[in-house]
Amino acid sequence: MSRYTSISFLLLSSLGLLAACGEDKPAETGQPAAVQCPPGQIYDGRLCQTVGAPGATTTAPAATVPPAGTAAPGTVPTAIPGLATTASGPTAQALDPTAAQAATQLITPLGAQHAPGAKAVGSAIAGNFQQGQTLEAQVQMNPGKCYTVVGVGLPPVTNLDISLVPALPIPGLPAATMAADNTVGSTAIVGDKPNCFKWAFPMSGMMKVVMTVSQGSGVAAAQVFEK
């Protein structure tokens, strides 16, 4: 064998060994090998760190956004500025008008005085009240008509309040007060002459009469008059 043949044989053998070694090398994917941290630790991209330790990266909880049109948790819807509202208190014990005759019989002369020419609508609303309690009743109001509500409280009732509110309030807002008495005493008049409460809509609608004894306690009654 010539010297050149021996050199060629050695070169070919070396290339074969290099090729064999190259086949055993794992392919490079460009992705770093996954780092396994001990239990209770997280990998922050550089080191394994204990959860909660200074410098450890944690994911903040996502903020909860309330649905559109709803108030944030823990808040109370705000009434429309300039619009009076009514908040009902505990409910008083409702009475049959005949059981409150001592109060209802006082309403008739007051009705003639404060709503002359008007007629009573339905039965009187009556109840036995503790201080701060309310009683509600619905009444239908008709186009072109005018209304007065007369209420009387028997001693020891010292202040009776009456208001008119829509039977179907706006969702999310307190009931809007459409009319209310502005006196302090055991007698309450809403829509006193000549300023009776006029139903301005072209169709009939339901309103609520809300009676509240804000001072004292006892029997009270009210009657709606229409003209």
What CA–CA distance (Å, rounded) separates 106 from 114?
13
pLDDT (0 to 100) of residue 189 = 98
> pLDDT tens digit string along 122-135?
999 999 999 999 99
pLDDT (0 to 100) of residue 4 = 44
What CA–CA distance (Å, rounded) separates 121 from 119?
6
Residue 2: pLDDT over 70: no
* pLDDT (average), residues 136-148: 97
Q: Is 80 helix (H, G, I), strand (E, B) or coil?
A: coil
CB 97 within 8 A of CB 214: no
Residue 52: pLDDT over 80: no
Terminal C-alpha separation, the chain: 137
Q: Which residue has the higher pLDDT, 62 or 35?
A: 35
Confidence band of 66 (pLDDT split at 50, 70, 90)? low
Angle at 58 between CA 52 and CA 62, to 5 degrees: 130
> pLDDT tens digit string along 144-188?
999 999 999 999 999 999 999 999 876 776 778 999 999 999 999
What sign has the CA pseudo-torsion 104, 109, 113, 119?
Answer: positive
For domain 91-226, the CATH class is mainly beta
Within 89-227, where are the H helices?
Answer: 101-114
pLDDT (0 to 100) of residue 171 = 74
Q: Which helix (H) or strand (E) holds 11?
A: helix 3-24
CA-based nearest residue to 88, from 147, 141, 137, 153: 137
Number of Cα atoms under 13 Å in the Cβ half of residue 161: 18
Confidence band of 48 (pLDDT split at 50, 70, 90)? confident
pTM of the model: 0.61
User: Residue ranges per domain, the chain?
Assistant: 91-226
What CA–CA distance (Å, rounded) separates 160 from 44?
70
Average confidence score pLDDT of the chain: 78
